[in-house]
Amino acid sequence: MNWYALYTKPRSEKKVAQKLEAMGIEVFCPLVTSIVQWSDRKKKVQKPLLNSYVFVKIEEESKKNVLGVSGVVRFVYWLGKPALIKDLEIETMQQYLTNPLVTVAVEDWKPNDKVLLKEGIFKNRVGIVKNNSVNQVTLVIESLGIVLKIQKH
């Protein structure tokens, strides 16, 4: 079984995940907690980390069943085929959501330096320093296709 990314209708991620779980499909809908301010109160709300995306672990034959779920628009494609998501990438997102804080010493980093991260969810990943300002370091991890902004304290 492989992980695939599904594109959903806007604001349907949690409902799609619930429907797929009810069908017995392994689903990962990364959620983050944020505080929303209304005029009279504040409330903690679970929002999707990636808007309009849900990840499913299914066999090739189950793809048609997934597309029949209300709220699912399509699979995310790469090179004309549904994109396969590596288990490591899903695990990395899960680890980040459970422990987002990592301490990193960044004083000596200069732009274009290649840096091996030695701890945290990005352990053993190589990043390229794009910017090292007074308050923040911008680091590109090409193997994951992401840009990290590290706040200095």
Residue linked to tokens 């209708």: 9
Query: In the prediction, which pLDDT does 126 show?
Result: 87
Confidence of residue 59 (pLDDT cuts 50, 70, 90): very high
Is the pTM value of this prediction over 0.75?
no
Answer whether 124's CB lies under 8 Å from 115's CB.
no
Amino acid 106 reads V
Q: Which long-range contacts (CB under 8 A, 24 or more apart) does 105-114 make?
A: 106/132, 106/137, 106/150, 106/152, 109/137
The closest alpha carbon to 118, from 105, 130, 129, belongs to: 105
pLDDT of 36 strictly over 90: no
Tell me which amino acid residue 10 is.
P
Top-confidence residue, 18 or 139: 18
Closest by Cα among 81, 59, 54, 55 to 1: 59
Predicted confidence band of residue 12 (pLDDT cuts 50, 70, 90): very high
Q: Show Cβ contacts of residue 70 under 8 Å, excluding neighbours closer than 6 positions.
A: 15, 16, 19
> Which CATH number is 2-98 given?
3.30.70.940
Q: Which amino acid is at 8?
A: T
Q: What residues does each domain of the chain span?
A: 2-98, 114-151
